[in-house]
Structure 1
Amino acid sequence: MPQGVLEKNFLNYTSIFLFPNRWLIASRFVLGLAEWLGSWV
């Protein structure tokens, strides 16, 4: 298997694993922020 193909697949797999985690963290952060703001109002 050529190096480029392996590298491309590796990047695809890492992006698949990383991006859902980022969205999960971002959504949790937004929800936490909304709760925190709600406690002040």
Structure 2
Amino acid sequence: MDGKGNFRSVISMSKILSGVRISTKRIVTNGNKKISTVFNY
């Protein structure tokens, strides 16, 4: 082990609001956060 740990957390959820599906994915890799949102009309 070189002391560098890899940590990755992926949280995804989707909901339907007024007939529109909203998918949200939150990715945390080593403290860096990335949030992506997709709207399906």
Q: Same fold (TM over 0.5)?
A: no
TM-score interval, normalised by the smaller of the two chains: under 0.3
By percentage of residues, which structure has more strand? 2
